[in-house]
Structure 1
Amino acid sequence: MTKDDLRRRYEEASQWPLIGLAVLFVAAYAWGVLRPDLPGWLLTTLHVVTVIAWPVFLADYVFRLALAEHRWQFVRRNWIDGLAVVLPLLRPLRILSLVRVARVIDRRLTTSLHGRVAAYVTLTASLVVFMASLAELDAERGDPDATITTFGDALWWAFTTITTVGYGDRYPVTAEGRLVAGMLMVAGIALLGTVTAAVASWFVGRVADAARTEDMAARAEDDAADAAADEALRAELRTLTEEVRRLRAELAGEGRAGLSDRG
């Protein structure tokens, strides 16, 4: 058994525990941000959960890297995973942990290319908007000049930012908030590009399918025409054969009659 086979078996065995941890991370982070008035011990517990999740994801990445037969190729193909685990768990950078959440859940998505793209984009966009809203609210609400002071404000700001609309009625004023905004802008452009590429690929695929259908129909018509021509040729050959046989019979009869006359 090769290392890649072992890595695939490990990914299949670890996907559900990692999904559980990812969901727990999102829940703990969201609860802590949305309810800052919780008791101190509970806030500490939620913080510990978010901190513990990072080394687990790091260990998962390192173990899969160790099992890869072509490690540089693995790093290039999974650079987003690497970026998400090597950066420190600073408060404004916690949004990057959603990358690991999406990548883990992506293992359970459909194998169809377009279905995979649609599901992945939908899942990632939802996670990005939700986590960016939480991170922005966490960074902004303590500033006296903040325009984002509630989760509703943060959610509205995230929607307008990721869709590249940007009304400007809500905007970050802190350095941490602007860092989150920058990452959200990049994510919005990337998702828009992915959706555009997926739609274009779908249209190209439909056109190619239509072209293949027309080509198959044309080939079927050509085959039918060829078959009809062959059948007509065979019928003509049968007619000519019968005519030759008749002429031979007539010639043979005339030959016998001539011999009888001379006799």
Structure 2
Amino acid sequence: MTTHADKNGGRRPTERYKALEILKVIAGIVLLFAISWEIIMGDHINFSQTYLIIQFIVCLIFLCDFFIRWGLAERRNRFFWKHLPYLLISIPWLNILDWSGVVLTHDWGILVGLIPMLRAFLAMVIVVEWMVSEKGRMDRIFWAYIFTVVVFTYLSALVFFEYEAGINTKLVGFSNALWWAWMNVTTVGAEIFAVTAIGKIVTVLLPSLGMMFFPIFTTYILNRYTGKK
């Protein structure tokens, strides 16, 4: 079986690694759908058993990917510390807590509740990495930027809805959260104001993302029509 060098100087089996990459992308997409369903249709208090099973399977795939790449890396110590956040996010903490019967305080509950959302952003990054895997393809990179803005805005709406629903009197349904997110990412602003700490953080991050990515869109369009590369 053919092999090629990985980013850390080691050798890896091409076919198996590509299969794992595809599986990881599929798992990331499934996770995005599962989190969307859980937040929009859930009760914002308890996670459903269906979601816990799905995120456990996805976590196993992410963990397998980490340990395989770690085992194939030439500088394993460097690889481990560089990808430690990926490992920590990939651990199925919610399942572990559910199995152990641990009852969390409100503050710790908020912190642990963020982990599925962090994993959703990780899933977004995995899909983007797959989209730009072929170097020298400006169109793929451009569409990866578009994908990032759309999915990041959508996930931000999910986060906002998860933590503001039932607390923010101006938030009526997920459609309001989605409208709020797009109005903020375009830096226009909305009449729905965050009342939770997490909501306020997302409110700051969204316009920042918009200010970073929309100039890229403008530059791409200009280069397209002026013939520049």
TM-score range, shorter chain: 0.5 to 0.7
- Report the TM-score when normalising by structure 2: 0.67
* Shift of residue 184, structure 1, vs aligned partner: 3.4
Q: In proportion to residue count, which structure has more helix?
A: 1
Q: 1:140 aligns with which of 155, 164, 188?
A: 164
**Corresponding position of 2:116:** 94
Q: 1:165 aligns with which of 188, 193, 196?
A: 188
- Report the TM-score when normalising by structure 1: 0.60
AA matched with 1:60: D
- How far apart, CA to CA, are the structure 2 residues paired with 1:119 and 1:99? 17
Q: Does structure 2 conserve the Cα–Cα contact (< 8 Å) formed by 1:92 and 1:179?
A: no
AA matched with 2:184: T
Which consecutive residues of structure 2, in runs of 5 or more, have no partner in the other structure? 95-111
Whether 1:27 and 2:59 are equivalent positions in the alignment is no
Q: 1:131 aligns with which of 132, 140, 155?
A: 155
Report the 3-state secondary structure (helix = DSSP H, G, I; strand = E; otherwise coil) of the residue aligned with 1:19. helix
- How far apart, CA to CA, are the structure 2 residues paired with 1:162 and 1:19? 26
Report the 3-state secondary structure (helix = DSSP H, G, I; strand = E; otherwise coil) of the residue aligned with 1:107. helix
**Corresponding position of 1:217:** none
Report percent identity of matched pairs. Answer: 21
**Corresponding position of 1:14:** 20
State which structure, 1 or 2, has the greater radius of gyration over its C-alpha atoms: 1
Q: 1:179 aligns with which of 196, 201, 205?
A: 201
- How far apart, CA to CA, are the structure 2 residues paired with 1:9 and 1:198? 34
* Shift of residue 197, structure 1, vs aligned partner: 6.2
Report the 3-state secondary structure (helix = DSSP H, G, I; strand = E; otherwise coil) of the residue aligned with 2:183. helix
Name the Cα RMSD after superposition: 3.8
Q: 2:177 aligns with which of 143, 148, 154?
A: 154
AA matched with 2:154: F
- How far apart, CA to CA, are the structure 2 residues paired with 1:175 and 1:10? 43
Instruction: Say if 1:97 and 1:181 are closer, same or farther in 2 by CA, change over 3 A.
Output: farther
Between the two structures, name the one with larger relative contact order (CA 8 Å, sep ≥ 6).
Answer: 2
* Shift of residue 98, structure 1, vs aligned partner: 3.3
* Shift of residue 152, structure 1, vs aligned partner: 0.8
Q: Does structure 2 conserve the Cα–Cα contact (< 8 Å) formed by 1:92 and 1:176?
A: no
- How far apart, CA to CA, are the structure 2 residues paired with 1:138 and 1:85? 24
**Corresponding position of 2:58:** 53
- How far apart, CA to CA, are the structure 2 residues paired with 1:191 and 1:74? 30
Q: Does structure 2 conserve the Cα–Cα contact (< 8 Å) formed by 1:146 and 1:173?
A: no
